[in-house]
Amino acid sequence: MWILILTVVVLGGILIRMLWQRKLERRILCEFAEALENRHPYLEGTESGLIRHMGMDRIIHAYSEALTNERTQKKACEDNREELRNLIESIPGIVFSLDPSNDIVHDNQAARDCFNNGNPMTGLPIESCVSSSNLLRCVYQSKSTKGPKRDSVKWEGNGKDRWFDINSNRLPPTPDSPRGSILFVLHDITPLKHAETVKDNFVANVSHELKTPITIIKGFSETLSEDMDTLDPGTIMRFVGKIQSNAERLHLLVEDLLTLSRMTAETDYLKKSDQSISTVVKPLVESYRTDNPDLTIIEEGNGWETIVRVDSLKISQVFSNLIDNSIRYAGQDSEIRIRMDATPEHHQLLCSVADNGPGVSSSELSEIFRRFYRADKSRSQSSGGSGLGLSIARGIIDLHGGSMHAEQVNPRGLKVCFSLPLNQ
């Protein structure tokens, strides 16, 4: 009897152990399945012996290694993606890349600011961000090129034309673009195009300004050399006067051109010193009064004794150019008002030269400072103007840290105003 009871107890214990082990095995399988589904590592805990007994130890080890490798590759991919984003952000200019479907894969802040009001563009089709047909055409052409491509395109947008230098090249496949992409780098070359236009216009204007006096000098000198014996003394003197006046005009033009060149090329163009503005301007005013008895020059304002740090010769040239311009257009018997007002609260000396001449239209107030611009071409050419005086004057004031603009005078006339920083 006792043997039977003992046998039943032993068999019951074995059965319970088997059932408990089976339960643990099912729990281990469920936990491993959950870890496998969620891509989480599986921690063996205290059941390592049972796992080995089940033959799952090598499976779990292989899974752990695969999961570790996957996470390492994923981190490396994220690091590469972050490096690529940082690289694209650090490239000067507008940068973006397109996948084969014309969707934007990468962009930098400059591209977002230019094309999408600062908002992200990744995932958007390029057509939804870029409205310029010329720019889109250049993008499409770049996609059909296997190697690197460079082009320039004019973009009409935001009410003004802009020029871009476009460089493109293919990128290898990445997780963000498995089929590869094309990287575009755009540089705004509008200032360069503007500089080229200014240079071309300047060369054309200089050529035109030189051609007229040279043609006159050549014509009269040829006439004198061929017909000297048949010309009366009065005609000869008239021809010589024409040659001299146009030679002087050439001399003034060359001097003005050299002044403009030195202003842009020499870093130490200004020789500044502290002095009262009256010591610079009043001797010049007196010389004009002496040379032009019919001219009226009125001094106004409370800033004539203000101390400023300026290049006296260059500031004297500014006032000389402005007074000459007033005499040229208003006449020898005109009235010129020179005003000086000190504004210590703004750390500025405000200066102006106004005349009672015909003035200019409101549309010409900014144009008159452009090189070779003449409000009345016939009058300024006949009086020897080079068309550079106001441009030089503004350039000198800019170098002093001031600013210059023109205003209309009621009922008639022109006033040129400029500022000079006060000596602090």
Q: Looking at residue 280, what is its pLDDT? A: 92
Q: Looking at residue 305, what is its pLDDT? A: 92
Same fold across 194-265 and 273-421 = no
Please answer whether residues 417 and 343 qualify as being in contact, where contact means their C-beta atoms are separated by less than 8 angstroms. no
Residues 360-389 have pLDDT tens digits of 888 888 888 887 776 665 544 555 566 788
Count of C-beta atoms within a 10 Å radius of residue 358? 14
CATH number for domain 273-421, candidates 3.40.50.11900, 3.40.630.30, 3.30.565.10, 3.40.50.2300: 3.30.565.10
Q: Which of 97, 187, 204 is nearest to 142 (CA)?
A: 97
Q: Looking at residue 153, what is its pLDDT? A: 81
Q: What is the CATH number of domain 194-265?
A: 1.10.287.130
Q: Looking at residue 9, what is its pLDDT? A: 67
Residues 99-147 have pLDDT tens digits of 888 888 888 888 888 888 888 888 889 888 887 888 888 888 887 777 7
Q: Looking at residue 420, what is its pLDDT? A: 92
Cα Rg, the chain, nearest whole Å:
42
Task: Report percent pLDDT > 70 for the chain.
Answer: 78
Task: For the chain, list residues with pLDDT below 70.
Answer: 1, 8-12, 14, 17-64, 67, 73, 76-81, 84, 157-159, 266-267, 374-386, 423-424
Domain chopping of the chain, boundaries: 2-77, 91-188, 194-265, 273-421
Sheet harboring 404-408: ordered strands across?
A: 296-300, 335-343, 348-355, 414-421, 404-408
pTM check: above 0.95: no
CA distance 357 to 375: 12
Please give the helix or strand (H or E) that residue 248 lies within, else none: helix 233-265
Q: Which of 239, 249, 257, 260 is nearest to 212 (CA)?
A: 249
Q: How many residues does the chain have?
A: 424
Residue identified by tokens 């022109």 is 414
Please answer whether residues 148 and 167 qualify as being in contact, where contact means their C-beta atoms are separated by less than 8 angstroms. yes
Q: Looking at residue 380, what is its pLDDT? A: 47
The CATH-assigned architecture of domain 91-188 is 2-Layer Sandwich (3.30)
CA distance 303 to 352: 12
Q: Which of 369, 70, 392 is nearest to 259 (CA)?
A: 392
Please answer whether residues 54 and 47 qualify as being in contact, where contact means their C-beta atoms are separated by less than 8 angstroms. no
Please answer whether residues 62 and 88 qualify as being in contact, where contact means their C-beta atoms are separated by less than 8 angstroms. no
Please answer whether residues 35 and 51 qualify as being in contact, where contact means their C-beta atoms are separated by less than 8 angstroms. no
Q: Looking at residue 279, what is its pLDDT? A: 93
Count of C-beta atoms within a 10 Å radius of residue 99? 20
The 3-state DSSP class for residue 136 equals: helix
Q: Looking at residue 331, what is its pLDDT? A: 84
